[in-house]
Amino acid sequence: MGVAQLMPAWVIVTSVAVGYLLVSLGVGLLSGRNASKGPEGYIAGDRTLGFLILYFVMGASIFSAFAFLGGPGWAYSRGAAAFYILAYGTVGLIPWYAFGPRVAALGRQFGYVTQAELFAHRFQSRWLSAILAIISLAAFVPYLTLQMRGAGYVFNVVTEGRVPEWLGAAIAYGVVVIYVLASGVMGVGWTNTFQGIFMMVLAWGLGLYLPYKLYGGVGAMFTELAAAVPEMLAPPGLDAAGAAWTWGGYGSAIAVSAIGFSLWPHYFMKIYTARSDDVLKKTVIFYPTFQIFLIPILFIGFAGILRYPGVTPNEAILPTILMSMDLPAVVVGLFCAGALAASMSTGDALLHAAGSIMVRDFCCVLYPRKLTDGEQTRLIRILLILISLLAYYFAIVSEVSLVALLLMSYGFLVQIAPVMLSTLYWARSTPQGILAGLVAGCGTVIIFQWFPALQWQQIQPGIFGLLVNLVVLITVSLATRPMDEGHVAQFVVD
């Protein structure tokens, strides 16, 4: 009798997952050995990232806990509504092709390593830097909470409840914190490359195997679904209550996500890490290929509609299918590792960016004296730990759905779009207009979040906030004194 036959299945599953965590930790610790020790090395990787790492840093961020759990959950409970994920991910990075090289050049010229440093310098406002840091943190914490909840939930399910969610999340993110503390963006880059390749293989393996096992193949699955529940395949799908989702809700979800996608501060910061403009443009061109690897993830959710009715919460459909199919424990362990990879590949980038932004864009601009490079790096590491503890707290007590958390984050991030456009393309914009627009837009999002009855046609709050933001920005800018033309000319594209 083999060792595997003597060991309980949950022990094998946990061992595979822990083995994966140890490999990720080793990759993360080794990758940062050659980076410089100051903020330039810790945050921007000394601006040396090539195409392969940048591609996986950006792409692996799609494969978050949202993709592995929320994506199948939406396909299972809301059908065609889940296609919005593919829609916004395909076009979300295209704006980089236009403004990315210009932003990278300004970063090299002025030494920027964060998003707000560019905007604050352009509009000569330290308060803009501080407000953007707060907006970024407000967007990061829900998204990071989502990743931690996903990691804890997967550990709990595949070990049949023996590892509680709080412990599973703590184990996974203990590893993340260690390698991000030690290696900074280089640790994020190389672990994301390793995790991205691993997730690609696992996603297609599960996405093709489960429909085959349950229906006889992907085509047979959709044929049966079309006959039994045609409403699940008709766009725009269903809303959270199970009624028909409006085109306004569907379209605005795509719009908010697509506009905000390229403006995520932890994505935006990677513009500064690119070795050259060619690397940056090549990343934009090839980035949509990562959507191919989300397709099998959605297959899994569709596979559960007829064979596993009534699963709650809907994010549980993937582990529910796996745990009911009497698969070898090693296979279940690999799924656990894949889901952890999905969570960690997004969470590490979020943690790294959150600590960096709060130091560079908040503490450094408001602190009465200039912080040394060593002080900045130490403070980033301290805040990284504090932010991870804050997100962990919300991950344990929050009951908000994974997709709802993601859309709430995008509602705040989309308010940065007018700032980006004004920075490079509208010379007449002023600091007063930018600040007033940001405050008005974010305030509108908060109001619509608190009072959902105000929404019309299920349109996402971020869209209403964006409209208010633009009106206020333009009105106040035209009513206030223009900025110095010489200063503005350094930034605005002719």
Q: How far apart are CA 283 and CA 277, in angstroms?
A: 10
Q: How far apart are CA 12 and CA 21, in angstroms?
A: 14
* pLDDT tens readout for residues 164-192: 989 989 988 988 888 888 877 777 777 87
* pLDDT tens readout for residues 315-350: 888 888 888 888 888 888 888 888 888 788 788 888
Rg (CA), the chain: 22
* pLDDT tens readout for residues 21-50: 888 888 888 876 766 666 667 766 667 777
Q: Higher confidence at residue 112 or residue 60?
A: 112
Question: The CATH number of 3-414 is which of 1.20.1730.10, 3.40.190.10, 3.30.460.40, 1.20.140.10?
Answer: 1.20.1730.10
* pLDDT tens readout for residues 83-97: 988 888 888 888 999
SS (H, E, C) 76-121: HHHHHHHHHHHHHHHHCCCHHHHHHHHHHHHHHHHCCCCHHHHHHH
Mean pLDDT of the chain: 86
Residue 147 has pLDDT above 60, yes or no: yes
* pLDDT tens readout for residues 440-458: 998 998 888 778 777 787 8
Closest CA to 346 of 97, 138, 143: 143
Global pTM reads: 0.81
Token representation of residue 39: 């903020």
DSSP letters of 315-365? GGHHHHHHHHTT--HHHHHHHHHHHHHHHHHHHHHHHHHHHHHIIIIIIHH
Return the pLDDT at 142.
81
Residue 14 has pLDDT above 90, yes or no: no
